[in-house]
A and B are shown apart, each in its own frame.
Chain A
Amino acid sequence: MPALTPEQLDHVARIARLPLGPEERERLLAEAERILAQFGEVEAALARPAPAPVAHGLAARDDAAREPDPGAAERIAAQFPRREGALCKVPEGL
C-alpha cells in the first residue's frame, strides 16, 4: 500500500492550504512515497515496543467538519477576566 495516495495528498494539501500544480503534485507524490518508505523503518527498528498495558485510542477526533455551536462564543467570552463584548481585553504588549 502506498505511503501516501493521490487522494490523501489532495486532502492534506487542502488542509495545509497549499496550492499544487499538476506537475508539482506528481513530483511531491513520488518524493513523499520515497521519503516515507525510507523513514517508515523507525517503527520497525525500535528496540522495544511501545508500552500499552491498557488499550487506548488517540484523543483526537476525526478530521470531519461539524456544525458550529451557536452558544460557544458566548460561553468562552464569559470566562475572559476582562472583556469588551465578544472580545478579550489584554494588557498592551508590542
Chain B
Amino acid sequence: MPKGVPRPSVTLDEPPERVAKALERIRQDPHHAFLHVNERAAEEAGRAQGMWLGKTLSVKDNLAVQGLPLTCASKALEGHVAAYTATVVERCAARGLVVVGKTNMDEFGCGSSGERSAFGATRNPRDPSRVPGGSSSGAGASIAAGLADFALGSDTGGSVRCPASFCGVTALKPSHGLVSRWGLVDMAMSLEGPAPLARDTRGCALLLDAIAGPDARDPVSLQGPAIPPDGYARNLEGLDAKGLRVGVPEEFLQGCSADVERAVRAAIERFGAAGARVAELAMPELRLALPSYYLVCYAEFASAMQRYDGFRYGPRVEAGSLEQATTADRGFFGPEVKRRILLGTHITMKEVRGKWYTAALRAREQLGEAYARAFAEHDVLLGPTMPVQAFPLGERIADPLAMYAADVLTVGASLAGLPAGSVPIKGPGLPIGLQVQGPRGEDLRVLRAMRLHEKLQGGV
C-alpha cells in the first residue's frame, strides 16, 4: 500500500476470481438491482491495473459504459448500446475498479422509489416488500445486498441520498460542477451529476477521489470547485466536534415520522455531547424548495427529452409522416416521464412562463441566499435525509404528489448546488439516514462530518 493512503473499507489485493463470484451473485439477485450484467467483467479484472484491482463497481444505467446497454430503464432506449464511456467510469477503471453491471433505476431518473423502471421495480434488500428509494434504486440495492463494492449513481434531487437512506448505505451528492457529467444521460443539467455510493463514508470519499475534477468534455466542470490538494480520503479523519458549528433548520424536522425525528435528534445530540455547538435556525425559504425544484426540473427535463425522436435515439417506428413517426416513438415513455415532459413544455410557454417557471427561478435564487446566510453562521446543516423510512411497494405510485413529497428534504441542496451526504443512523428497524449539507465546494467538510457521525455512534 502506498504510504499515507488510508486503508479503505474493503481489503485490497484479492484475486480477480472475486469478480467472477460477484457476477454469479448478481445473476441470482432477487432484488432486481441490475438490468445488465457485464459478462466481460472477469476477463477485464484479469487485465485491470490500479490500487483497487479486482474491486467491483456497479453503474447506474444512465451512465455510459462502451459496449454495454444504456437504457435509462426505459423502453424508449431498449436495445441501445453505449458508443463510449462516461468520464467518471473511465476514471474508476483507471484505478482498477471493474464494472460488474448496469443498475436499475426509475425511468430517465423520474422517480423516488425505484418503481418506475420499465423493466421491473427494484426491491429493498433490507425488506423486499418495500421500496429501495430512487432514482438510483439499483445502485443503493447493489451496495446494501453486497453485490458491488462501490456504486456510481446520479443525483438530481436526491437520487442517491434517498436510496442510501432507505437501504442503509452511504452516499454523497457532490457540489454541482465538481464531477464531470460527460457520459451521463441528460435529465436536468443545472441540478444533476454523477454521485458515489458505498457502504460507508470512507468508501464514498475514495470514489470521489477517483471521479472528481475538471473534464474538458464538460464545460461546467471546468468552473467547478477546487479539489483538496491531498484529495478526500486522506483527509477524512480528525474533525474535532469541539467548535464545530452545527445548524439544524427547524423546517428539516417538520412533517417527519416519529421514528425518523427521534433517531435524527439523537444523532444530532451526539454531536452536541461531543462538544459541537448545535443550534436550530429558521429557513422559511425551504418550504418553496419542493415546488421550485419540480418546476425547474420539468422545464429542463422537457428540453433534454426532445432528442428522443426515434431517429437519433430510440426504436424506429414506421409511420406515414415524420411527425407521426416521432410521436409514435415517444409513446414508449412511461407515465411519469410523459407527465414531466408535458408539464415542462406547458410551464415554459410564453403565456404562462412567469406564473410558474420564472417564479421558480426567483425562489431558487432566494433559497441560495438563505443557505449562504445559514452557512455564515454554521459549518454544516444536519437533518434527516428522508421524512419517512422506506414505504411499501405500491403505496405512492398512483399519486405523483405523494411521491414528490418524499424529496422535500433533499431538493434544497440540489437547487443551491451544495454538497450533501446521507449516512446511516444505527438502530433497530428500517434504515434511517442522517443528511449532512455544506457550502458549495466544501465536499470534504461534509464528508468529515459524516465520518464524525460514524465515529460518534460507534462501530465503524
**Distance (Å) between the CB of A37 and the closest chain B CB?**
10
Q: Does A47 contact B (CB under 8 A)?
A: yes
Chain A: number of interface residues, binned into ranges: 20 to 34
Q: Which residues of A contact B359 (CB under 8 A)?
A: 42-43, 46
Out of A4, A38, A40, A43, which one reaches B346, CB within 8 Å? A4
How many chain-B residues does the 8 Å CB contact rule pick out?
Answer: 42
Taking a contact as CB atoms closer than 8 A, the residue among A28, A31, A42, A63 that contacts B292 in the complex is A42
Q: How far apart sit A28 and B343, CA to CA, in the bound complex (Å)?
A: 10
CB neighbours (8 Å) of A12 from chain B are 342, 345-346, 349
A32 at the interface (CB under 8 A from B): yes
Does A16 have its Cβ within 8 Å of any Cβ on chain B? yes
Q: A88 contacts the other chain (Cβ, under 8 Å)?
A: no
Which residues of B are found within 8 Å of A40, using beta-carbon distances?
355-356
**B294 in the interface (beta carbon within 8 A):** yes
Please tell me if B313 contacts chain A, counting CB pairs below 8 Å. no
A-B interface contact total, Cβ < 8 Å = 98
Of B15-23, B45-53, B360-368, the one touching chain A:
B360-368
Contacts A45-B287, A62-B350 given; does A31 touch B366 at CB 8 Å? no
Q: Which of A51-92 contact B (CB under 8 A)?
A: 58, 60-63
Which residues of chain A have a CB within 8 Å of any CB of chain B? 4, 8-9, 12-13, 15-20, 24, 28, 31-32, 34-36, 38-43, 45-47, 50, 58, 60-63, 94
- Closest 7 CB pairs between A and B? A43-B359, A39-B291, A19-B331, A16-B345, A42-B359, A17-B327, A12-B346
23 A-B pairs (CB sep. < 8 Å): A4-B346, A12-B346, A12-B349, A13-B342, A16-B330, A17-B309, A17-B326, A18-B327, A18-B330, A18-B331, A18-B333, A20-B338, A28-B339, A31-B400, A35-B400, A38-B291, A39-B291, A39-B356, A42-B292, A42-B360, A43-B359, A60-B350, A94-B83
